[in-house]
A and B are shown apart, each in its own frame.
Chain A
Amino acid sequence: MTVGTPIRVEGGGTSPSTRAVSVGPRRRRRIRWTSAWLFMAPSLLILGVFVIYPIVVSFWYSLHDWTIGSDVQPFLGLGNYLALTRDPQFWNALVNTLELTVVSVAALVVLGLALAIALLRDSFITKAVRSAFFFPTVVSLTSIGLVWRFLLDPQLGLVAGISETLGLPAVDWLQSTALALPAVIFVDIWKNLGFVMIIMIGGLKGVPAERYEAGRLDGAGDWQLVRFITLPSIRPTLLFATLILTIQSLQLFDLVYVMTGGGPLFATDTLVTEVFREGFVNYRTGYASAISWVLFALIMLISLVQLRIFRYDDVD
């Protein structure tokens, strides 16, 4: 039995069922604002105090040479933003952040999809392999960073030990300015691959089998099935995965902080590690807020572009 929610309509009384609403002439629903606000108030208040207010205030900070607790907070206007354009460390962090994001998101989507296709069928083995890939996802980034830092240690680490056993030289993965960022990106991919794989499997399982049957009847090959049926069908999944991964990568902090601290020589410095350093080590709150707002604008811009590229339309 289905019970429709009684809806109060103008003229008194309630309709006997929801069906009644769609039948007669269109009537204005009276929205009970008071109750709505009552239900929304707690979360609105929490959002307002802990999210919206700090965001607005951080913009105000970014317009000042703000130091927490200082008697005077000189107003700079857009001075902090202009200083950013001349700051080589900011540009270095921006380039590192973009490099990290582009490489890791692209690799994760491609590898995640490939893995999902390979492990799509349900069997004991595929379930076990999926669990193995998913396991790093549930471990905190800090723990993963510490473990990998130890593994990659050129003197005492397992990776160096294996290399030497194979007759290869030990590599200074995290001490080399050329290799540190690729090493961090690798660990980031390793950590998130299982998560992307699970999302992709979910998307792939939602594609109706008839589409593939129809495709095959029309003479499509394997690649054509993937290109013209699978990829368009999982477009919402791809959008979700890339959007989440992009935002996550642009905001990456814990892994970098634990593995390299942004070093060596700022080679792995990201925008968020720079925000941390300026805000909490150098106490330049205004400058750190300006970097945060640039990051916010960057995330907005990239997200809008992604939403445009992967836009979902009814034809799909």
Chain B
Amino acid sequence: MKKTLTAVAAASAALLLALTGCSGGSAGGAPAGPVKLTVWTGFTGGDRPGYDQIVKDFNASHEDIQVSMSVQPWDSITQKLPSAWLTGSGPDIAAPSSDPNAIAQYVKTNSVLPITATGSGASEVNVDKIAPALIKEYTYNGKLYAVPANYATLSLYYNKKLFAAAGIDGPPKTVDELLADAKKLTVPEKKQYGLVLADNQTIQMWPILQWLEGGDIVDSKNCSVLQTPAGRASLSPWVDAVVNDKISPVGLTGAEADSLFSAGKAAMELNGPWAAPGYKSAGIDLGLAPVPVGKDGKSVTLGSTAPLAISAKTKYPEQAQEFLAYWTSKSAQKQFSLTTGFPTLRTDLADDADLKANDIISTFTEQVPDARLYLPQVPQATQVDANGYVPLIGRITRGQDIAAETAAAAKTINALTGCSS
């Protein structure tokens, strides 16, 4: 009886191990051949070739370290990575999300390794050459937990053909011109929209309009300012333009807004450099201009970055940091910008002649000094966006009262950020 039970237990355990894919593996010893690093990212868009090129070039120049990058939808990474890193079964390096604020959660759960190999050397992350706002975004309690995988600004894409048909000479230079042009370019009979504004599942467009109008979402104490007179005033002209002048359909996702612009049914869209290849291949007579200046005469746009972090459980922390150093190096970033049209994240490439010669790169680069991140280091920023800001824009563009809705959003946001004032 005992023997049989032992046999049962052994057989079952063996089967379970086989099913779960667990095995003892090779017994100890240093790995033969190069160190193999795995990387997960969600860069599935038009900028993907740029990232692939970085990995390819790194592998070619580092015989002792070989990197394989798995590109999968952001949703999949968001679901799998927390538990994968916790159990040590995840990748050595990952871009956990397209939202830079997501790194805070991984810092909280001790899942990411502080990056210590910083300095001016070739195998170090050149922190002092990377845009300071990005380093600040990824620094928690004085330690750097990620490097920027990219840095993009949003510019104004416009359809030259539709502009010509409306008798408008060139792109708007001020926020008032932007509003006037958006209304003029809206032709309901043709189902043509002046400026498509996505408000969910998108890179944020509404904060840019608010900043241009002199408003904001939260102040330096992370307290909502949406409900203040300035906050409401920054929203109302654009809400009015959407609700009454129909310059944009309501409730668009980012992909839907892009589809409308690609289909020639929208005259303008605020978007990042990743969108350019798609618009060109759709045959749009494409124009690209900096975001118009705001009421105060100053330029402002949204900056976007995705973090690249190292697992706290990687067996190869040195090699992983060397890879991040290469990723953010001057040569790799120059090549990346030329391939993708992204502005550079390095300050020492700002005046590079080759980058300046490229119209797309220079338009996006020109706005780097004026770019602001969305809810940078705001506590529970993901929820502030999902439960506060996105529902607010959704409600007011569907005709609900701005004063009442901003007050409600402020309550939600303040509860999330811990603002007590």
B150 interfacial by beta-carbon distance below 8 Å: no
The contact string, 1 if C-beta is below 8 Å from chain A, for chain B 144-188, is: 000000000000000000000000000000000000000000000
Interface string of B251-266 (1 = CB under 8 A from A): 1110010011001010
B residues in contact (CB < 8 Å) with A: 1, 4-5, 7-9, 11-13, 15-16, 19, 78-79, 82-83, 85-86, 105, 108-111, 191, 200-201, 249-253, 256, 259-260, 263, 265, 380, 382-383, 386-387, 391, 394-395, 398
**Cβ contact within 8 Å between B12 and A45:** yes
B-chain residues with CB within 8 Å of residue A283 when the two chains form the complex: 82, 105
Q: Is A280 an interface residue (CB 8 A)?
A: yes
List, in ascending order, chain A residues with CB within 8 A of B13's CB.
Answer: 45
Q: How far is the CA of A280 from the CA of B105 in the complex (A)?
A: 11
Q: Could you show 14 A-B contacts with beta carbons less than 8 Å apart? A: A34-B4, A38-B11, A42-B12, A46-B16, A69-B109, A69-B111, A155-B265, A156-B260, A156-B263, A172-B251, A175-B251, A265-B398, A266-B391, A281-B382
Measured in the bound complex, the distance between the Cα atoms of B393 and A175 in whole Å is 13
Instruction: Pick the contact of B398: A153, A177, A282 (CB < 8 A).
Output: A177
**Chain B, residue nearest A266 (CB):** B391
Which residues does chain A contribute within 8 Å of B265, judged by CB atoms? 155-156
A155 and B246 alpha carbons, distance in the complex (Å): 13
Complex-state Cα separation, A156 to B196, whole angstroms:
14
Which residues 281-296 of A have a CB within 8 angstroms of B? 281-283
Contacts of A67 in B (CB 8 A): 108-109
Which A residue sits closest to B193, measured CB to CB?
A155
Q: Residue on A with the closest CB to B259?
A: A156
A44 to B259, alpha carbons, bound, how many Å?
Answer: 50
CA distance A68 to B394 in the complex (A): 31
Q: Given A177-B398, A266-B391, A281-B386, does the pair A172, B12 have CB atoms closer than 8 Å?
A: no
B residues in contact with A155, CB < 8 Å: 191, 249, 256, 259-260, 263, 265
Which residues 259-305 in A have Cβ within 8 Å of B in the complex?
A: 261, 263-266, 277, 280-283
Contact B249 A68 (CB under 8 A): no
- What are the residues of chain B within 8 A of A153 when measuring CB–CB? 256, 259
A289 to chain B, nearest CB (A): 14
Looking at chain B's contact residues, the main secondary structure is helix
- Give chain A nearest CB distance to B385 CB in angstroms: 10
The answer to whether residues A71 and B110 also contact, given A41-B11, A45-B12, A156-B259 and a CB cut-off of 8 A, is: yes
Assuming A34-B4, A69-B86, A283-B82, is B201 touching A261 (CB within 8 A)?
yes
CB distance from B192 to the nearest CB of A (A): 10
Contact A37:B16 (CB < 8 A) given known A68-B83, A155-B260, A175-B251: no
Contacts A71-B110, A175-B252, A263-B200: A45 and B15 contacting too (C-beta < 8 A)?
A: yes
Q: A69-B110, A155-B191 are in contact. Are A37 and B394 (CB under 8 A)?
A: no
A155 CA to B391 CA, complexed, in Å: 23
Assess whether A154 is interfacial by the CB under 8 Å rule.
yes
**In the docked arrangement, what's the CA distance between A154 and B111, Å?**
43
Top 7 nearest A-B pairs by Cβ distance?
A69-B109, A175-B251, A69-B86, A41-B12, A264-B251, A45-B12, A265-B394
Interface string of A62-98 (1 = CB under 8 A from B): 0000011111000000000000000001000000000
Interface of A is mostly: loop
Q: Within the assembled complex, what's the spacing in Å between the Cα atoms of A38 and B259?
A: 59
Interface contacts beyond A38-B11, A89-B387, A261-B200: sample of 9 additional A-B pairs, CB < 8 Å, sorted by A: A45-B12, A68-B83, A69-B110, A70-B109, A155-B263, A156-B263, A175-B249, A176-B251, A280-B78
State the CA gap A299–B7 with chains docked (Å): 39
Q: Does any Cβ of B come within 8 Å of A21's Cβ? A: no
B12–A70 contact, CB under 8 A? no
**Chain A residues whose C-beta falls within 8 Å of the C-beta of B387 in the assembled complex:** 89
Give chain B residues whose Cβ lies under 8 Å from the Cβ of A281.
78, 382, 386
| Chain B residues positioned under 8 Å from A44 (CB to CB) | 12
Chain B residues with CB under 8 A of A103:
none
Cβ of A49 < 8 Å from any Cβ of B?
yes
User: CA A34 – CA B3 in complex, angstroms?
Assistant: 10
Within 8 Å CB of B201, what residues of A?
A: 261
Given contacts A41-B11, A155-B260, contact A46 B252 (CB under 8 A): no
Q: Please, which residues of chain A bring their CB within 8 A of the CB of B398?
A: 177, 265
Task: List, in ascending order, chain A residues with CB within 8 A of B191's CB.
Answer: 155
Residues of A within 8 A of B105 (CB): 283
Minimum distance in angstroms from B49 CB to a CB of chain A: 25
Closest to A71 in B: B110
A156 and B264 CA atoms in complex are apart in Å by 11
Distance to closest chain A CB from B251 (angstroms): 4
Contact between B5 and A175, CB atoms less than 8 A apart: no
Give per-residue flags for A9-53: 1 if the beta carbon is below 8 A from chain B beta carbons, else 0: 000000000000000000000000010011001101110010000
Taking A41-B12, A70-B108, A277-B386 as contacts, is the C-beta distance between A263 and B394 under 8 angstroms? Answer: yes
Least CB distance from B202 to A in Å reads 11
- Taken together as a complex, chains A and B put the C-alpha atoms of A177 and B399 apart, in Å, by 12
Contacts of A70 in B (CB 8 A): 108-109
A264 in complex: contacting residue of B16, B200, B386, CB < 8 Å: B200
B83 — nearest CB in chain A belongs to which residue?
Answer: A68
Give the residues in chain A near B263, CB-CB below 8 Å.
Answer: 155-156
A151 to chain B, nearest CB (A): 14
Query: B102 → chain A, closest Cβ, in Å?
Result: 9
Note all chain A residues with C-beta closer than 8 A to B260: 155-156
Report how far A219 CA is from B114 CA in the complex, Å. Answer: 85
Q: Are B391 and A265 interface neighbours, CB within 8 A?
A: yes
How long is the Cα–Cα vector from A76 to B13 in the complex, in angstroms? 36
Q: Nearest Cβ in chain A — how far from B379, in angstroms?
A: 12
A273 to B5, CA, bound (A): 44
CA distance A44 to B249 in the complex (A): 54
Smallest distance from the beta carbon of B266 to chain A beta carbons, Å?
A: 9
> In the assembly, what is the distance between CA of A181 and CA of B249, in Å?
19
In the complex, what distance in Å separates the CA atom of A277 from the CA atom of B382?
A: 11
Q: How far is the CA of A154 from the CA of B259 in the complex (A)?
A: 12
A113 vs B310: C-alpha distance when bound (angstroms): 57
Q: Give the complex CA separation of A34 and B9 in angstroms.
A: 12
Closest-by-CB residue of B relative to A39 is B8
Contact A49 B16 (CB under 8 A): yes
List A contacts of B256 (CB < 8 A). Answer: 153, 155
* Cα of A68 to Cα of B5 in the assembled complex, Å: 36
Minimum CB–CB distance for A144 against chain B, Å: 18
Whether A265 pairs with B109 at a CB distance below 8 angstroms is no
- Determine the distance from Cα of A101 to Cα of B11 in the docked complex, in whole angstroms: 43
Are A69 and B394 closer than 8 Å at their CB atoms? no
